[in-house]
């Protein structure tokens, strides 16, 4: 695998298909509900931008897209994901527009969206750089990118958090979903995912500017925003 590559797409798609039915509840339990607060904050940020068209890449069961759809009723919100089983749940929960699509090759014309968001999805992509460049392609010049994903808190919280990632989380997730292996990769993927200034530099190299970094909940997750060149 090349630079910026972390996940095998076939494995990720199959794993998410298996846990789709219990995905939402499991996420809320594992994060103790803080993932809901993170997405609400992201939706408020998007609302400030007053977009007409929003693409939520790797939308999964539509959690973030639904928040944006509720807060930005005047905007067209599209949720895309390469796992059809996830999108079934997004549609059933009320997401108006969904599309099965691979983030490595989005089926949209250049400059088609005012805002592109991706929550906990970039980390699961086959190549971070390719994904960021493809999201840049479908953004209009001056459009906004927002990335929400896990990161590692600073010491002294980092050690206990990593213990939770590797010892507690897979066991608890396995009990909730009956698919323990689908979560075993999570801790490693978070540790290897670029964060902070490293992520900002990657985004800048992929055609973005004015990158802002906003750690939330002691740095357990981070919100990155940027403008498309």
Least confident of 78-87, 93-102, 162-171: 162-171
User: Cα separation of 49 and 143, whole Å?
Assistant: 9
pLDDT digits (tens, 9 = 90+) for 41-77: 999 999 999 999 999 999 999 999 999 999 999 999 9
CATH homologous superfamily for the domain 9-149+195-228: Vaccinia Virus protein VP39 (3.40.50.150)
Q: Which helix (H) or strand (E) holds 55?
A: strand 53-57
Q: Which helix (H) or strand (E) holds 217?
A: none
User: Distance between alpha carbon 125 and the CA centroid of its chain, in Å?
Assistant: 10
Q: Which helix (H) or strand (E) holds 76?
A: strand 76-81
* Residue with the two structure tokens 């997750």: 221
What's the whole-model pTM score? 0.89
Per-residue pLDDT at 180 exceeds 80: no
Q: Return the domain boundaries, the chain.
A: 9-149+195-228
pLDDT at 205 (0 to 100): 98
Q: Given CA atoms 203, 152, 61, 36 in this order, what sign does their dihedral have?
A: negative
Q: Which helix (H) or strand (E) holds 184?
A: helix 181-184
Per-residue pLDDT at 5 exceeds 60: no
């Amino acid at each position: 695998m090349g630079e910026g590559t972390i996940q095998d797409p076939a494995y990720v798609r199959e794993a998410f298909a298996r846990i789709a039915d219990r995905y939402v509840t499991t996420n809320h339990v594992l994060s103790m509900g803080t993932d809901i607060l993170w997405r609400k904050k992201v939706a408020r940020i998007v609302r400030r931008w007053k977009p007409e068209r929003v693409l939520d890449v790797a939308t999964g069961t539509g959690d973030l897209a639904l928040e944006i759809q509720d807060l930005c009723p005047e905007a067209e919100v599209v949720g895309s994901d390469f796992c059809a089983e996830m999108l079934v749940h997004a549609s059933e929960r009320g997401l108006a527009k969904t599309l099965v699509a691979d983030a490595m090759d989005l089926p949209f014309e250049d400059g088609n969206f005012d805002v592109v968001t991706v929550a906990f999805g970039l980390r699961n992509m086959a190549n971070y750089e390719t994904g960021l460049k493809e999201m840049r392609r479908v953004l209009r010049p001056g459009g906004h990118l927002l990335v929400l994903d896990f990161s590692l808190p600073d010491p002294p919280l980092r050690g206990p958090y990593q213990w939770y990632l590797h010892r507690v989380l897979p066991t608890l997730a396995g009990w909730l979903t009956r698919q323990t292996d689908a979560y075993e990769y999570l801790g490693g993927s978070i540790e290897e995912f670029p964060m902070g200034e490293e992520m900002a530099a990657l985004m800048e190299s992929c055609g973005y500017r004015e990158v802002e970094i906003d750690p939330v909940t002691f740095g357990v997750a981070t919100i990155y925003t940027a403008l498309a060149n």
